[in-house]
Amino acid sequence: MMFKRLAAMAMTAVLGAALLTGCGSSTDSTSEAPAEGATTAAESATGAVATSTVPTVTEGKLIMATNAYFPPYEYYEGSEIVGIDAEIAEAIGEKLGLEVEIQDMEFDSIITAVSTGKADIGLAGMTVTPEREKNINFSDTYATGIQSVIVTEDSDIQSIDDLQGKKIGVQLSTTGDLYASDDFGEENVEKFNKGNDAVMALSQGKVDAVIIDNQPALSYVSSTQGLKILDTQYAEEEYAACISKDNTELLDAVNGALAELKADGTIQSILDKYIVTE
């Protein structure tokens, strides 16, 4: 049953990537010749730089909505929000001639903020899902995520199947929440506003496990005593930026910028800077 989840997710990811890139796979995008669709988008992005015609909520600005408690994709360093997504937004902004402004909000509010014109782009280690695609457009993907399971070091939970009937902590409205509620029953899933609140509950014995993206999981486990990550992965997914369905010009421009940033190695070097363990 759990194997089914992995297979289904991988399939959605592949299908999603194929649909999003039009042709070729998203992992090819570092090759020298961009896919046909990407070339067109890149050209329109270049045009946008010259003429500054990319429409945004506030002229000249790219307002990015995120939830800055998702290391290493976004987190606070003092009062500044830094991380992979912040740097990718900065690189996109540079390409498009837009100044990036980051707005921190609950993860749950990001899609609404973007779709109602309060922000231009959501960059939040956000997984592409068919459900979300009903409300928002996703850019081409720029990273892969994995849903991991964190347990206490002395836990009897050794596999995904052992989660049956246990209390599982998740971050509200994340894919970890959606899959766990689906697989193990809403009544067994405890939803927290922040990932670290879920991890805190685990170390206090209030939940038996936490399902969360692997990179924040690694960061939480290294900063919290007595926790470990299960070897078995729960699901594989693709991260992308979300942009309003009403702003396809911005979507094309962002995809163009992403294609260039993948081709010249910028995206990979940003990922490598923050992701130490693969």
Site of interaction with ligand GLN (CB under 6 A): 67, 70, 107, 124-127, 145, 171, 174-175, 213
For the bound state, the minimum distance from the C-beta of residue 110 to ligand GLN, rounded and expressed in Å, comes to 8
For the bound state, the minimum distance from the C-beta of residue 107 to ligand GLN, rounded and expressed in Å, comes to 5
Alpha carbon distance 206, 208 (integer Å): 7
- Smallest Cα–Cα separation from 96: which of 264, 252, 218, 243? 252
Considering beta carbons, is residue 107 or 184 the nearer one to ligand GLN?
A: 107
Considering beta carbons, is residue 87 or 213 the nearer one to ligand GLN?
A: 213
Considering beta carbons, is residue 45 or 221 the nearer one to ligand GLN?
A: 221
Contact by Cβ (8 Å): 112, 231: no
For the bound state, the minimum distance from the C-beta of residue 171 to ligand GLN, rounded and expressed in Å, comes to 5
- How crowded is residue 67: how many other Cβ atoms within 10 Å of its Cβ? 24
For the bound state, the minimum distance from the C-beta of residue 176 to ligand GLN, rounded and expressed in Å, comes to 7
Q: Is the dihedral of CA 257, 258, 260, 261 positive or negative?
A: positive
Considering beta carbons, is residue 2 or 105 the nearer one to ligand GLN?
A: 105
